[in-house]
Amino acid sequence: MASTGEAPGIAGKIRMTLHEWRLILQRLKKPDRDEYMQTAKITWLTILLIGSVAYIIQLVAVKLLTG
């Protein structure tokens, strides 16, 4: 016997997930231009920073391994 506390079947889980996604999408708002540009700048700066650190690590590793 299934009690009310048990997890639903696959179809029920899919329905619940889609319902939760729909609730999330209803609460979202499109960012304005300033917010978008600020996010884009931070993203590009982060990519450049991580890429620079990786490049420096690679240069040091090559220098140490090749002499």
What one-character-per-residue DSSP string does 1-67 give? ---TTSPP-HHHHHHHHHHHHHHHHHH-----HHHHHHHHHHHHHHHHHHHHHHHHHHHHHHHHHH-
pLDDT of residue 5: 55
State the residue range of the domain holding 20: 10-66
Instruction: Tell me which of 13 and 5 has the higher pLDDT.
Output: 13
Residue 3 lies in a domain: no
Residue 4 lies in a domain: no
Residue 60 lies in a domain: yes
Instruction: Give the pLDDT band (50/70/90) at residue 7.
Output: low
Per-residue model confidence as pLDDT tens digits over 24-60: 999 999 999 999 999 999 999 999 999 999 999 999 9
pLDDT of residue 1: 46
Residue 1 lies in a domain: no
